[in-house]
A = this chain, B = another copy of it.
Amino acid sequence: MSSAAPRPADQDDLWSVDEHLEDILATVRPLEPIELQLLDAQGCVLVEDVTVPVSLPPFDNSSMDGYAVRVADVAGASEEFPAVLDVVGDVAAGQAVDLLHVGPGQAARIMTGAPLPPGAETVVPVEWTDGGLGEGPVTGMRARSLAPEGAEGHVHVYRSAEARAHVRAQGSDVRAGDRALDAGTVLGPPQIALLAAIGRGTVRVRPRPRVVVMSTGSELVQPDESLGTGQIYDSNSFALTAAARDAGAIAYRVGAVADDAETLRSTIEDQLVRADLMVTTGGVSVGAYDVVKEALTSVGDEDEPGSGVDFRKLAMQPGKPQGFGTIGPDHTPLLALPGNPVSSYVSFELFVRPAIRALMGLDDLHRPRTRATLRADKALSSPKGRRQFLRGAYADGDGTVAPVGGAGSHLVAALAQADALIVVPEDVESVEPGTEVEVVLLG
């Protein structure tokens, strides 16, 4: 028994949805951090405070294509009375400037991002000059490879410039020693931009969890094969693999395992090596062939504390039978979901998704919830003592939600039209149209 929460003393021995979730989240610990290449860390949670090692920009540099000059040399310049300066060379981005010096009466042609050369005090954009062509203001430079003479000769400057105009000062973005990102930050593209910009090629993050998904049931056939008598297609292993990825995991689909405890046990043992979390569907109810229940009590070392899966009934519809615990030598968490496609999908949303996000170390574990007005032809009925999750279509515009399909837990067709779950609390047996209800947005 891995359960952190005590079993409830309810008359029906039912666990509430919240108790089950609490038990899961009390057991699932964030994965150990590892050092990952920046692009492999996308979407992951940083576990270190990252400090800026070198100021950005690392040197004073030009924010324009133009000429690096001395302020006094362009003071009072105009189109009528341009300043005429000697061009002493080019400063391109990435070029060392140690040999170039801008003296009185001189200008260096400078490119955006290039370091301000010694002696220069300001930058005049090329559009304020004749670009060295002697024919009035230009709109840009000719490519160096086509017109090497642009790096020498004379330039007419038509406007004055203040000191350090068009110069990005060293350290004006971030300074060495500043905190760039705090531990706990989720790394999206802008955070990756900053890390790369300060020279960090790898970062310490919690990795994406590896989730192994297997469905169970001797009735299950792979899509594209032909159905025999009494057979149906396996949809859970596909749906939950996709959903696990969507939640941020690296998901492995094992597919359907037949209802044989020995086969299931050895499949699970095989798969444990690549699992941070295992998810099974089916075989958790009260039947004589509920193989997950049968198999899972004896996986792993029973002497190890914290190993074992507990099967329980939840005050929930769909999704009453559930299993949760840890298995194997590493106490890998396992969620055993019911086999019905809608039950397993709803269970995934409520229990597996938060578990995946807890493994990632995210703070924000849950789907957003909102309140909406029920739009329906007739009252919704809900079993007393069960928290019901109905598939719904949410309309953001007018804040309403309409049920999609019926309450039957096999209506996978309706699920594909839904974008929300309508929550009907345990103590409510009927919800009239127009009532405000809680809604889980499936995003």
Contacts and interface: CB of A to CB of B under 8 A. Distances in A.
Contact of A259 (B42, B94, B139, B217): B94
B190 A294 contact: no
Chain A residues touching B, majority SS: loop
Contacts of A111: 287-290
Interface stretch (A74-82, A223-231, A268-276): A223-231
Nearest to A223: B201
Number of copies: 2
Contacts of A139: 286
B224 A95 contact: no
Interface stretch (A1-9, A156-164, A240-248, A301-309): A240-248
Contacts of A192: 235, 238-239, 242
A418 B189 CA distance: 11
A193 B415 contact: yes
A350 B98 CA distance: 39
A204 to B, nearest CB: 14
B230 A412 contact: no
Given A201-B223, A217-B94, A196 B288 contact: no
A130 interface: no
Interface stretch (A26-34, A50-58, A358-366, A423-431): A50-58
A366 to B, nearest CB: 16
A97 interface: yes
A42 B242 contact: yes
A23 interface: no
A430 B231 CA distance: 68
Given A229-B96, A229-B97, A290-B143, A413 B173 contact: yes
Contacts of A168: 408, 410
Interface in A107-161: 109, 111-115, 126-127, 139-147, 150-151
Given A97-B230, A193-B345, A193-B416, 17 more contacts: A42-B245, A42-B246, A56-B410, A56-B412, A58-B231, A93-B259, A94-B258, A96-B228, A113-B219, A145-B294, A181-B416, A189-B242, A190-B418, A195-B238, A196-B234, A196-B235, A201-B222
